[in-house]
């Protein structure tokens, strides 16, 4: 039996981790990302200052610790193929959130379909940060579809992109960046300066995955031409450099109009409309968006596996796990 290359070990682990997410989703207690968030929260209370430099140091410390730990774990495993594959599988399961995303979306969809607007409003904060108190059925459905689109990029595609580029350390470092952005990257009096570095780093880290999400959404769309047209026309209209890419592609793929006025507590945002000529969102579109998200996730997995193999080949690596293959003269 030929020894596994590192690219093959990554592929095996990534597929296993994706299957684990599909089967088990995120545990309600004891999730590694939640543990990271708790540790980062305690550190923030200690380090917080209304200062960008301190916030930058905080971000670097949190993300750097995760990345360094992942590198150390890989080195400790050496050239043991099953060990490396298991590490990648655990990391992939940890960072992916596609199954939990679609489960939450479908839970809200079922409440709306049953006419239980109160239950849908109560559940919406589990999916996004909008104030649900004044939202009607159509507005909640739109919020769910938009959240599925944005989080397909953040919770699935982006993590796999960084796994393709940097292996297990890339998977875990991106999840750390994205988690910090959710914790301190929003615009509030407390975090406007302290969270600046986390927000900007998340924008940079999310740039390639957001565009790949849009491309894969076009590929998975029932009508790719419409998805492509709406994405290319409206993708840059969104105030976020990344969220609009996935949301506009999803708008075209599902065939609905997204964007418009949003309420985040006392803060109201008037965002550009994506796919303005398309129909409004309905409750049934939640299921369509969830199915699209799953297709995009599978395409992203295949792309990540192929991409990681290409990166290993491009860097001239000939290492196999168990022995080192020599180049012929």
Quick: pLDDT tens for 143-161.
999 999 999 999 999 999 9
Enumerate the H helices of 185-242 as residue ranges: 196-220, 224-234
Query: Which residue shows structure tokens 């793929």?
Result: 253
Quick: pLDDT tens for 223-265.
999 999 999 999 998 888 899 999 999 999 999 999 876 655 5
Confidence check: pLDDT of 269 > 50: yes
Q: Higher-confidence residue: 175 or 3?
A: 175
On average, the pLDDT of the chain sits at 91
Q: What percent of the chain stands above pLDDT 70? A: 92
Q: Which residues contact 144 (CB under 8 A, 6 or more apart)?
A: 105, 108, 109, 124, 127, 128, 286, 289
Instruction: Give pLDDT, residue 51.
Output: 96
Q: Band the pLDDT of 81: cuts 50, 70, 90.
A: confident
> Can you tell me the distance from the alpha carbon of 141 to that of 120, in angstroms, rounded to the nearest whole number?
9
- Condensed to tens digits (0 to 9), the pLDDT of residues 281-292 reads 999 999 999 999
Mean pLDDT score, 92-118: 96
Q: Report the pLDDT value the prediction gives residue 13, as an integer from 0 to 100.
A: 97
Sign of CA dihedral 114, 116, 119, 120: positive
């Amino acid at each position: 039996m030929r020894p596994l290359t590192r690219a093959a070990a990554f592929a095996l682990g990534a597929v296993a981790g994706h299957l684990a997410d599909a089967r088990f989703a995120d545990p309600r207690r004891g999730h590694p990302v939640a543990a990271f968030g708790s540790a980062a929260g305690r550190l923030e209370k200690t380090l917080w200052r209304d200062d960008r430099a301190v916030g930058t140091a905080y971000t670097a410390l949190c993300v750097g610790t995760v990345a360094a730990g992942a590198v150390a774990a890989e080195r400790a495993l050496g050239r043991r193929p099953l060990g490396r594959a298991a590490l990648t599988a655990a990391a992939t399961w940890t960072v992916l959130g596609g199954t939990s995303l679609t489960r939450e979306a479908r839970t809200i969809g079922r409440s709306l379909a049953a006419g239980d607007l109160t239950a849908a409003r109560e559940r919406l904060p589990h999916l996004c940060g909008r104030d649900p108190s004044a939202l009607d059925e159509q507005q909640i459905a739109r919020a769910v579809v938009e959240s599925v689109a944005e989080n397909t990029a953040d919770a699935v595609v982006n993590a796999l992109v960084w796994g393709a580029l940097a292996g297990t350390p890339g998977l875990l470092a991106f999840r750390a960046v994205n988690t910090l952005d959710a914790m301190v990257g929003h615009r509030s009096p407390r975090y406007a300066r302290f969270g600046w570095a986390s927000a900007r780093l998340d924008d940079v880290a999310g740039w390639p995955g957001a565009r790949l999400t849009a491309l894969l959404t076009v590929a998975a769309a029932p009508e790719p031409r419409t998805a492509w047209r709406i994405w290319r026309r409206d993708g840059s209209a969104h105030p976020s450099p990344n969220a609009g890419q996935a949301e506009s592609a999803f708008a075209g793929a599902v065939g609905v109009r997204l964007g418009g006025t949003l309420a985040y507590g006392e803060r109201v945002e008037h965002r550009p409309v994506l796919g303005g000529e398309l129909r409004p969102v309905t409750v049934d579109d939640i299921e369509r968006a969830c199915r699209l998200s799953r297709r995009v996730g599978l395409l992203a997995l295949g792309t990540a596996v192929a991409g990681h193999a290409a990166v290993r080949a491009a860097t001239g690596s000939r290492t196999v796990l168990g022995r080192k293959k020599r180049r012929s003269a």
